[in-house]
Amino acid sequence: MNAKKVIVSVLLSAALCALAAFGQGAAAPEDVLSIVRAIDAKQRSATSRQDMVMTTYPDMGDEGNKREFAIRSYSKGEDDSYMEFLEPRSIKGLRILGKGDDNWVFFPSTGRTRKIAGTSKKDSVQGVGGDFSYEDVGGGSFESKYDFRLLKSDSGSWTLEGVAKKKDAVYSKIVLTADKAKSLPTRIEFYTEEDGYFKDLVMTDFKVMGGRDAATRMTMVNLKKKSKTVVVVKAAEYDIQIDERYFNPSRFDK
Amino acid sequence: MKLRERILGSIGEFVIRHNKLILIAGLVLAAVSVYYASGIKSNTRINDMLSKGNPRVVAYDNLTADFGGASMIVTLEGGTKERMAAAAEDLVVKMRAKPELSRYIRSISLKLERDFVLDRGFLLQKPADIRRMRKLFEKTSILPFVTGLNENLESTYTGDEAEEDLETGRQELDAVSSMAQIANFADALRVAVEAPEALDPRAAAGGLTDAIVLGDQYSFSQDGSMLLFAVTMNFDIASNLTACDGILADMKALSASLGPAYPEVEFGYSGDIAIQADENAAMSSDMLVPSIIAYAAILVLFIFSFRQVRSIVFAMGCLVLGILYNFGVIGATFGELNLVTSMIASLLVGMGIDYGIQVTTSFNSFREEGHGLKESIRLTFRKSGYGVLLAAATTSASFFVLIACGSKAMKQLGFVAGVGILTCLAAMIFVLPALMAWLGKRTESANRIPQIDYGLLERFGAFAARRRVPVLIVSGIVAAALCVSALRLDIEYDMMELEPQKGPAMIAYRKILDKFEMNPNSAIVVTNGVEEARALTSKLEKLSSVSEVQSVSNYLPSADEQAERLAEIARIRADLPRALSMAYGPSEVDALVREVQRLEWNLIELGDISVAGLGENNKIVRKRNAMIREILGAEVGKEGEEVFQKLIAALKADPERAAARLTALDAPFSAKAVDMVARMAAADRPMTAADLPRSLTDNFLDKKTGTRNIITIYPKASATATNEGLRRYDAALREIAPSITGSTPLFLDFFDEMLGESKKAALYVGILVLLFAFLSFRSVKYTLIAAVPPVLSLVLLFGTLPLIGWKINALNLVTLPLNIGIGVAYGTYMLQRYLVEGRDLRAALKYTAKAIFLSAFTTMVGFGSLGLAGSFKMLASFGTVLFIGIGYCYLTTMLVIPALLGDRKAAAADAGETVIEERSAS
């Protein structure tokens, strides 16, 4: 091979490498957004119905001290949610309806429905959500709430850091780990300005339910209170027809 | 003849020659022992058995020096709440009036003084609560007031702007307190509506305002069926053990004297003093009754085991002397018996008689061979003396080595038991032969009492020797199986499970656990000032295992808090409510009925909400279920007091009459309410410790400094119901403040210490035993064989306990080293004789089987009697575990050792060979 050809080959190779590197850098933000959108899409559903068991441990070191609740929930879009307690017997039939920022509670013991307005997003869901707050169970995509960047990518997962878009967001930052094959989160760390690393959500036991892959076991640990809540999904259906009465404040208690 | 035989022979000669002198000396020693023994006290305090360096012991001792601390919890049941309260008030008056009692009392926590609540009540409330109270009392007529009460509840818990969470013990108690106030108010209103015309409306109005402002002044259980109050003494239990019985007796006499006035009210007692009294009673019977049972059982066995009745009587008499000498030493040294050493009499009955058995058996066998009285005594010393001395030396040394342990409990046990072995040995090798020499029968005579044939035991051992392989295989399999079972061995950390269970104090304790969902065994800590107490109390109240924290900081808010509250109080003062008067007609009565129904619904819903944060059976739910009814979702369970439905029924029964009553009541109620608010709003300066009533200062503050104060922490009954829960609770307390002390933390430390010390002691004893065995046998093989029974028996023991549902606890852990020290003796006897008889197993069995059986049996009876007769569970478990352990030592001695040794003669006979006998030079 003569010298000229060598020089051209080297220059071409260098140009190709530069292009590849440029392409890598230029592609990164887009990839992260794609990842986040893929995760959001996987979790999005027009409607859902779930039967679950929620176990709260006020002291996560004490597995014997726990409160167990069997719950049926319905959701529609990002704003409407309905929960009904099936167990324990003492609160069987208690229902909570959430529409946006407003919540109603139906007490089967008295037959009354009370409106709970202006609840703080960071509060536990009507006190019965354990370590899951309204923010945690509420709707809204990751994309709409956080600006993400990629922290790490390995063969099985992505780790993304999301900074809150709004100043008054409940969580100032989240670190989300998602399974590449499933495009589903496996772990989310929640941070607040005040407490720093505040809560930890781990999602495991992925199964196909209602035609989609989803985590059936979610464990939320509150690092400040040293408490934890475990939600186990027993059955789920998505994008199904749900009676409107479940999301109607004057009918959900019937 | 070996040197040791000569020495022992000389001792025998001495005893024979100076038998009367020895007997006189023995009696004199007995008299001296009685003198010293009469001063022995019993002390069951756990902290006195812990190492002095234990920080919790140090904290406890410092605390009790300033605050005293012995407590008495008094419970009242039966009748209405008013009757129980009245009975409690009368009892307290009587207590204070009785000098023999009042001189010991530091504080009585019966109720919070009314005047204090009215003068300082607002300062004890958060600003938000003061604002709610202000809003509540804006309208002081009854109907608007009840409406305001509903709005207050809804804004606090159940409504649009509910502010209050229900997660912590403090929030739970505050909610229950509010519910109690409302229930009392509803009840008082019903009484006023139903009352006869003669009822003074002003008195009724006073009752209404007191109910809603003061609530339950006394400490009632959620269902209102039990009242409880605590009496704290100015001394610590250990510093005045003898006072406890007297105090309890006086209390019982006082409550009995109230019987005619309050026949329906039943009094109960728990706490340190009552439990100590139960323990004293149990220990007295546990020391005496089991010893008598053991003694009687042994006597009966001996009568049917030995031809010479006199020698039995002499042996038993010498046993009593040996034990008496030991108590004399205890009286002259420690002067007290603790939980561990209190069993020493029963232990020595079983262990001390061993030496008498060996001496008597040996003596009788020589007599039966035709030897004269004195010659038999000489031969006993020469032939059996070494074995007896060796066994006693090994056992006593095993106990003495416990003195090297760090634990005070182990040290005292080691000393007392070690000395006890030696005093019993001394009695058996000096006094017993002296008695035989002086008073023994010169000629053998026929005994008409049928005798037990112990040949079966010899044949048992011989069988094991002939079938060694199967015996060893089966033993191995059983040991392996029980080894696996031992992995399931559970531990008892709850000291209350080990107290005398049938004692009245324990019965009261269990009722308190059930009715108050609170463990009355408190933890305590002292802080140097109110702010330190506040910080600590705040952390403690957040623990999910804590039911209640009593702290002076609950009654003395911080300067900032008081400033905020004073500002709110000033607003109330600037715009005090006005007294109103409202006329009631049927429509107003209807409106009131609706509001009362709303009130009921609000409280029902409050209970529902509380389930999420506090669990199904929390205090709020229990209070709701008691004052209304049991609610299960849309269903109804057990009946409750139906305070609201009864009020509604009273209002509806005759609306015209109800309206008239309400009209008459309204103005005085309004006036009283306004007066109360005015009084409460008069607080215009921060509160100091000087403003606290005496009941609080006596309870919380150190009299010397006035600033050091005590915090009392009560755990939830559910949190301490399991071993894991107890450990977690203790760990949580330790993490917050290592100096938190009290009976539960101390007992857990005691257990940990005993666990560590027992393992250490077992190691020391094991090494010592092996050393003694090696020095004696001069053979590794026989040393290891001697070690088999104690080691194997422990494996079998720990495997058996889970199968019979028994647990290891702080006291029966001590059996670990004891089992080794005592159990090794049987194998030692057998092996020693085996070697003396020239490795002839059959001869060894012939001479030792009966003696080993009697030794083991008497020891088992000595310990086992504690298990059967002992009402103090801790001591009873000790006895039972040792009974099983020693039983296994005996079985392994009679089965495994012969199997290991083999029967050479039988084997040779089978093979058609002759065994050349090798008699040892001894």
pLDDT in tens, B674-712: 999 999 999 999 999 999 998 899 889 988 888 899 999
Q: Which of A87-91, B1-5, B334-338 has the highest mean pLDDT?
A: A87-91
Predicted local distance difference test score (pLDDT) of residue B313: 83
Q: Which of B441, B287, B37, B401 is nearest to B869 (CA)?
A: B287
B381-386 mean pLDDT: 82
Those residues whose C-beta lies under 8 Å from the C-beta of residue B446, and which sit 6 or more positions away, are: none
CB contact under 8 A, A93 and B633: yes
- Least CA distance to B625: which residue of chain A? A90
pLDDT at B162: 57
Lowest pLDDT segment from A116-130, B149-163, B354-368: A116-130
Per-residue pLDDT, A19 = 44
In a domain, A101, yes or no: yes
Listed range (B15-19, B342-346, B683-687) with the worst mean pLDDT: B342-346
| Chain A contact for B615 (CB, 8 A cutoff) | yes
Q: Determine whether the interchain pair A108/B725 forms a contact, defined as Cβ–Cβ distance below 8 Å.
A: no
Across the interface, whether the CB atoms of A108 and B609 are under 8 A apart is answered: no
Lowest model confidence (mean pLDDT) among B28-37, B230-239, B621-630, B841-850: B230-239
Give residue B366's identity as a one-letter amino acid code: F
Question: What is the C-alpha separation between B476 and B896, in angstroms, rounded?
Answer: 10
Q: Does residue A164 form part of some domain? A: yes
What does the pLDDT read at residue A27?
40
Q: How far apart are CA B524 and CA B710, in angstroms?
A: 7
pLDDT at B180: 92
Interface contact A92-B633, CB threshold 8 A: yes
- Is A70 among the domain residues? yes
Ordered DSSP codes for A103-120: EEEEETTTTEEEEE-S--
**Residues in chain B closer than 8 A to A130 (CB atoms):** 612
Among B691, B731, B733, B690, CA closest to B711: B733
pLDDT at residue B498 in the model: 83
**Minimal Cα–Cα distance from A112 to chain B, Å?**
8
More confident residue, B797 or A6: B797
Q: What is the pLDDT of residue B445?
A: 57
Is pLDDT larger for residue B157 or for residue B544? Answer: B544
For the ranges A120-124, A130-134, B243-247, B760-764, the lowest mean pLDDT is seen at A120-124
Q: How far is B615 from chain A (nearest CA, A)?
A: 6
User: How many C-beta neighbours within 10 Å does residue A122 have?
Assistant: 14
pLDDT at B436 over 50: yes
The model's pLDDT over A47-89, given as tens digits with 9 standing for 90+, comes to 999 999 999 888 887 787 788 999 999 999 878 889 999 999 9
pLDDT at A123: 62
Q: Which helix (H) or strand (E) holds B342?
A: none
Q: Which of A67, A110, A126 sits opposite B604 (nearest CB)?
A: A110
Q: What are phi and psi of B915, to 5 degrees?
A: -95, 125
Separation of alpha carbons B748 and B742, rounded Å:
10
pLDDT level of residue A20 (50, 70, 90 thresholds): very low
**pLDDT for residue B653 is more than 80:** yes
pLDDT above 70 (res A15): no
Is B50 a residue whose pLDDT tops 80? no
Q: Label residue A107 by pLDDT band (50, 70, 90).
A: very high
pLDDT in tens, A39-51: 888 888 889 999 9
Q: Is residue A202 part of a domain?
A: yes
Q: Which of B160, B615, B632 sits opposite A67 (nearest CB)?
A: B615
Q: Which two tokens stand for residue A107?
A: 């007490």
Considering chain A, what is the average pLDDT of its residues?
82
- Does the residue A15 lie in any domain? no
A25 touches chain B (CB under 8 A): no
A36 domain-assigned: no
- The structure tokens listed for B836 are 């003396």
State the pTM of this model.
Answer: 0.78
Confidence of residue A16 (pLDDT cuts 50, 70, 90): very low
> How far is B521 from chain A, CA to nearest CA, in Å?
20
Task: Check residue A129 and give its pLDDT.
Answer: 63
pLDDT band with cut points at 50, 70 and 90 for residue B569? very high
φ/ψ of B640, rounded to 5, equals -125, -165
Query: Could you tell me which residue, B128 or A136, shows the higher pLDDT?
Result: B128
B810-to-B672, B752, B759, B868, B909 alpha-carbon distances in Å: 59, 8, 12, 19, 52
pLDDT (average), residues B294-322: 82
- The total number of structural domains that make up chain A: 1
Query: Which residue has 């295992």 as its token pair?
Result: B545
User: Are the C-beta atoms of residues A176 and A147 closer than 8 Å to each other?
Assistant: no
Does pLDDT of B799 surpass 70? yes
pLDDT of residue B494: 84
In tens, the pLDDT along B754-792 reads 888 888 888 888 888 888 888 888 889 999 998 899 899
Check residue B407 and give its pLDDT. 72
Domain hosting A154: range is 41-247
Interchain proximity A65–B718, CB inside 8 Å:
yes
Give the confidence band of B840 by pLDDT, cuts at 50, 70, 90: confident
Q: Which of A64, A66, A63 is nearest to A55 (CA)?
A: A66
Nearest to B359 by CA among B437, B291, B449: B437
Query: Residue B634 and residue A62: Cβ atoms within 8 Å?
Result: no
What's the CA gap between B566 and B869, in Å, rounded?
A: 64
ipTM over 0.85: no
Looking at the complex, report in whole angstroms how far the Cα of residue A221 sits from the nearest Cα belonging to chain B: 16
User: Across residues B485-490, what is the average pLDDT?
Assistant: 91
Lowest mean pLDDT among A223-232, B503-512, B903-912: B903-912
Give me the phi and psi of A39, to 5 degrees please.
-65, -45
Q: What is the structure's pLDDT at B616?
A: 85
CATH code of the domain in which A228 resides: 2.50.20.10
What pLDDT, on a 0 to 100 scale, did the predictor assign at position A141? 83
Interface check A107 vs B, CB under 8 A? yes
A239 interfaces chain B, CB cutoff of 8 Å: no
pLDDT band for position B372 (cuts 50, 70, 90): confident
**Beta-strand runs (E) in B28-152:** 41-43, 71-77, 105-109
Contacts with A127 from chain B: Cβ below 8 Å = 165-166, 609, 612-613
Cα separations in angstroms, B617 against A130, B633, B718: 17, 14, 10
Residue B400, exposed/middle/buried by CB under 10 A (0-12, 13-18, 19+)? buried
Taking each helix axis as running N to C, give the angle between helix B385-400 and helix B815-836, from 0 to 180 degrees, rounded to the nearest 10: 160
Share of chain B above pLDDT 90, in %: 42
pLDDT tens for each residue of A157-201: 999 999 999 888 889 999 999 999 988 999 999 999 888 998 999
Confirm or reject contact between A110 and chain B (CB < 8 A): yes
Sort strands B741-742 and B523-527 into parallel, antiparallel or unpaired.
antiparallel
Cβ(B109)–Cβ(B710) below 8 Å? no
CB spacing of A89 vs B635 below 8 angstroms: yes
Q: What is the DSSP string of B122-153?
A: GGGS-HHHHHHHHHHTTS-SHHHHHHHHHHHH
Cβ-based neighbours of B163, under 8 Å, separated by 6 or more? B128, B155, B156
- When pLDDT is cut at 50, 70 and 90, the band that residue A29 belongs to is very low
Which of A56, A88, A128 has the CB atom closest to B616's CB atom?
A: A88
Q: Where are the alpha helices (DSSP H) in B261-308?
A: 272-303
Q: Please give the C-alpha separations between residue B357 and each of A27, B378, B457, B589, in angstroms, as whole numbers.
A: 96, 16, 16, 91
Hey, is the C-beta of B902 within 8 angstroms of any chain A C-beta? Answer: no
Measured between alpha carbons, how far is B386 from B212 in angstroms, rounded to an integer?
84
Choose the closest CB to A127 out of B166, B601, B719.
Answer: B166
Q: What would the mean pLDDT of B240-251 be, rounded to a whole number? A: 83
pLDDT value at position B184? Answer: 93
What's the pLDDT at B917? 46
**What was the pLDDT predicted at B763?**
85
Average pLDDT over residues B830-859: 85
- Strand, coil or helix: B861: helix
SS3 per-residue string spanning B768-833: HHHHHHHHHHCCHHHHHHHHHHHHHHHHHHHHHHHHCCCCECCCHHHHHHHHHHHHHHHHHHHHHH
Mean pLDDT of B548-566: 94
| Amino acid at residue number B76 | L
Q: Is residue A253 part of a domain?
A: no
pLDDT at residue A253, as a whole number: 85
Residue A7 lies in a domain: no
CA–CA gap between residue B724 and residue B739 (Å, rounded): 21
User: Rounded to a whole number, what is the distance in Å from the CA of B618 to chain A's nearest CA?
Assistant: 11
- Structural tokens at position B494: 């709850």
Mean pLDDT lowest for which of B260-269, B303-312, B429-438, B876-885?
B303-312
